[in-house]
Amino acid sequence: MAKLMYSLKLALMEQRITALPRGAITSTQQTQKVKAFAQFVAHIYATWVTCERVVDAAWNDLQLYRHLQAYKSVDKGIAESALKALGRHLWNLTGEILPLALFSDKVLAAERRALADAIMEHKPADFPVRVPREQCGADFGKQKFPALSPSSRLADLANADCWLGIQHLHIDPAFLALSTEDWVTNAAFQARLANVQAINTFNDCAEQGVKLASDFVGAAKSEQHLQNVLQAVQHDGSLQPNLRRSKRKMAEAKN
């Protein structure tokens, strides 16, 4: 964010900067790049980063994808670079997170109806679901990101993992069969609406936890202190169930 704001200031003060001796702040090539970046921020990035509710995240990311496709006509290089980066961060469009879009007032009623129909069509026979279906690797591996196209809709991204998300969020799927007009008066829908809308899209807690852990390890002034820290981490890990190991043992027992 600091780099973004600094770039915008450079773009706004372009005329004053060009009046300074050549190369005092930026070169001619750098000035053009800063201007192009500022234009991208103002037209694309600023509208995407304002998303505060996780229920709007799927819609917001899909809109960003569409805007980047259109932005190719303005600056193909920046658009393709941004699309490549977005392709590594499509978590909000995976099956487990997608049901949250049903509670977004930014998604049109027709889109939510289509998404609800698609989710019901993908209901697995072995419901309730225990592990994700669309993932890389065994057990609890990284989820596979959806393949997007300019015509992609939220409904097109639905899969069996949507039901895993419904389970985790304790959503009563009874309202899915109703028309969207009836959702606002449906008890099953209203029971989860306030809860899911309170979830924000920031991962401050996770980042603070990582920072705390890294600072704690970095505070080790001696090899003995470091070993003590590592032993404490190992001990804590031994107290927690190993999901991968338990899943593998269950599979071996069945065989």
Segments of the chain scoring below 70 in pLDDT:
23, 136-141, 200-213, 216-221, 240-255
Same domain, 151 and 226: no
Cα angle 15-16-21, degrees, rounded to a multiple of 5: 110
Residue 178 has what pLDDT? 92
Are residues 186 and 217 located together in one domain of the fold? no
- Evaluate whether 100 touches 169 at the Cβ level (below 8 Å): yes
* Cα–Cα distance, 173 to 175 (Å, whole number): 5
For 101, what's the count of Cα atoms within 13 Å in the CB-facing half-sphere?
A: 31
- Say how far apart CA 107 and CA 112 lie, in whole Å: 6
Take residue 81 and report the two structure tokens written for it.
């670079």
Shared domain check, 239 and 145: no
From 197, 220, 243, give the residue that closes a domain.
197
Domain span at residue 165?
A: 91-197
Please check whether residue 76 lies inside any domain of the structure.
Answer: no
Taking the chain, what is the end-to-end CA distance rounded to the nearest angstrom?
A: 52
Tell me phi and psi for residue 53, to 5 degrees. -115, 135
**pTM, whole model, 2 decimals?**
0.71
Residue 163 within any structural domain of the chain: yes
- 168 domain residue, yes or no: yes
pLDDT of 7: 81
Q: Are residues 148 and 226 in the same domain?
A: no
In a domain, 25, yes or no: no
Question: What pLDDT score does 217 carry?
Answer: 67
Q: Is residue 176 part of a domain?
A: yes
Q: In this structure, are 234 and 140 located in the same domain?
A: no
**Pair (228, 175) in one structural domain:** no
The pLDDT of residue 77 is 93
The answer to whether residue 69 is domain-embedded is no
- Cα separation, 207 vs 91, in Å, equals 17
Say yes or no: 184 and 237 in one domain: no
Q: How many domains would you assign to the chain?
A: 2
Asked whether residue 222 falls in the same domain as residue 183, the answer is no
d(CA 242, CA 234): 13
| pLDDT recorded at residue 199 | 77
Residue 104 included in any domain: yes
Q: Is residue 187 part of a domain?
A: yes
